[in-house]
Chain A
Amino acid sequence: MADTDTILQVEHLNKSFGSKKVLQDVSFTVQRGHIVGLVGPNGAGKSTIMKAILGLFNYSSGHISIDGEAVSPTSHKAMDKVGALIEYPGIYPFLTGYQHLKLFSKDGTPKAQIMDIVDKMKMGGYINRKAKTYSLGMKQKLGIALALVNRPDLVILDEPMNGLDPQANKDLRTIILDLAKQGTTFLISSHILSELEKLVDDLVVIDKGQIVYQESMAALENGSAKLLILKTSNDSKAKDILTQNGYELSQSDQVAVVEKADTKMPDIIKLLSASDIDIDDVQHVHSDLETSLLKLLQNDKVKES
C-alpha cells in the first residue's frame, strides 16, 4: 500500500491516557524529502503523535510505519533512520556538548561529521564546555544537533525554534532547507507560524486529537483570499463605484477589493480616476498562515471527548 515515496505512514492511530482520548483515528502520510508542519493548539496531541512515531509508548490501536517498516515500542529497527528532538532536549549536565554528540552518534562516526553539524549550528565556542553551563538556547541547539548528527532520513522536531535567537533561527532554517533538498524528510511542530511558513511544503493540522486538515502549503494559500487595499481621496465613493462595477469588496473600513484572476490594477485606476478619485496607495494583502489557521480551527467541527 505504501508507495515508494512515502517515508512515514500513520494509520488510524488511537491513544488514551486513562479515560481521556488524546488521539482519535489519526491518519496521515509524509512524502520523502518534504518538510511537513504539524500544527494545532496547545494540548492538541502534537507531541503525543511524535512520541508514538518514535515508539516511545503504546497506543491502543493503529499502525505506524517508517520506510515500510512497522514501528512500535517493541519494534525499533526503523529508528536507525530517524533523528528527533521532542519537547525539550535531554541533556546530561556532566557531559560536554561534544561528548553528547559522540555518545549518541553511531559507532565509527568520524569526528569531521560531528564537527560539521557543530559548525553549522555555530556551537564551536562552547562545544567543549560542560552542558550544565549552557543557556536555554545553547541546550536547544545541542538538542537539534543531536537529532541531526547521524544524518537521518527522517527528522522529527518538536518546537525546534524554542529559545533560539533570530540568527540561530535563520541558521536552522538554512540547515533544514539544505537537508531537505538533499532528500531528508522533516516533520516539524511549531507555534511560531511565521517561521514555519517559510519552511514547510505540507501542513497537517490537528485539533483535540483529530486531524482537521492535511494539504500542501500551496493549496492553503490558494484557498485563502488575496486582497487589494486602496487608499483613496474618497473611500466611501470609491467603494460604491467599485461595487457597482462588479468588484467584490471585503467587509472592512478600508477599500479592500477581493483579488480574482481577472482583477487588473489599471482597470481599477481608470475606473476611479474617471470619477475624480485619486489613489494614494495600493497594497497587496495575502492572508498569512496564522490567519488561515485560526480561521480553520474556528470552523472545524471536532468535539472534545
Chain B
Amino acid sequence: MITLIKEESFKLLHKRSTPAITIILLVLMTAFGVLAKSYPKFYSPRTLFVQSFTGDSWVVLFMIAACSSIIAMEFQYGTIKEVLYRKYYRGQILVSKWLTMLIYSIYLFALVFVYSLILKFVLFNNTFDLGRKYGAEHSVFTSFSYTLIGDFVGLWLILSLVLLLANIFKSSAAAISVGIIGYFALGVIAGLMTLAIQKWNWLKWNPLNMMNLSGQMNTPSMSKVTMLSTPELAWGSLAYTAIFLAISYVVFKRRSV
C-alpha cells in the first residue's frame, strides 16, 4: 500500500500543475492580503483572515480538479491497464489514490493555515488581535480554525462525489463541472433550500445542507436554518462522504477495462 501511495505521489508531483498550484495559492492569498491592507474599508482584514485570505476556497477548486484527474487520467491515457494488471488488488489501487488525495488536501490546508498566520503577522500585526472576539461566540483565531476544519469536512463531501463521478464517467471534465457547479450552487440555492426544509422537514438531511457545517460552527444560531445540530451536520457530512466513497469502490471493482 505504501508503494502504491508513493507511486501516486510520484505521478502527482511530476505534473506541472502541482507545484504551480502551491505558488498560485500563495500569490492569491497575498493579493487579498494586500488588498485588505490597502482598502481596509472594503475588505475587512479581520474577516479576510477568518476566511484564510480566500485560501480555503481556492483549495476546494484545486482539489476538485486534482481528484477528478487522479482517476480519470488513467482511463484517458490508457494507463489503467498497466496500473491494474499487477499483483495488487483493485481496491488497494483505488484506496491509495484516495489516501494520496487526502494527504494532498491536508498539505494544502496546512499551507493555508500557516500562510494566513504569516500574512496576519506581516501585514496586520497591529490591526487586530487574534484573541479578540469575532462574531457571536468565538475569538478571531478560533473562528479562523473552525472555518478551516468545517471547510475541510465539507471539502471531502464534495470530493467524494467528484471521485465517484470521475469513476463513473471516466472523464475529468464531467466530474470537475459537477463538483464546481455543486460547490457554487450551494450559495445560489441556499435560500430556496431553507424554504424547502421548513416545508419538508426530512429534506434537512440532503447533502447540500451538510455544506453549512463551517458556517454553523461559527454561528451556532444557524441551526434554526439548517434544522440540524452541529454534530449532526458533522456526522451527516462524514456519512455522505463514506457512502459516495463506498459506491466508487464497488464501481471500480466491477469495471471492465
Contact = CB atoms under 8 A, between A and B. Distances in A.
A272 B129 CA distance: 116
B81 A90 contact: yes
B73 A79 contact: no
Interface stretch (B85-93, B145-153, B206-214): B85-93
Interface residues on B, range: 20 to 34
Contacts of A73: 90, 253
Nearest to B91: A74
Interface residues of A, number: 30
A58 B254 contact: yes
Interface in B142-195: none
A74 B88 CA distance: 9
Nearest to A95: B14
Interface in B48-77: 73-74, 77
A62 interface: no
B16 interface: yes
A84 B253 CA distance: 21
A90 B14 contact: no
Interface stretch (A49-57, A114-122, A167-175, A239-247): A49-57
Contacts of B84: 54-56
B90 A94 contact: no
B11 interface: yes
Nearest to B254: A58
Most chain B beta carbons < 10 A, residue from A77, A80, A91, A103: A103
A127 to B, nearest CB: 15
A78 B7 CA distance: 21
Contact of B87 (A58, A80, A92): A80
Interface of B: 3, 7, 10-11, 14-16, 73-74, 77-90, 253-257
Closest 8 CB pairs of A and B: A90-B79, A57-B256, A90-B78, A54-B85, A80-B87, A56-B257, A79-B87, A90-B82
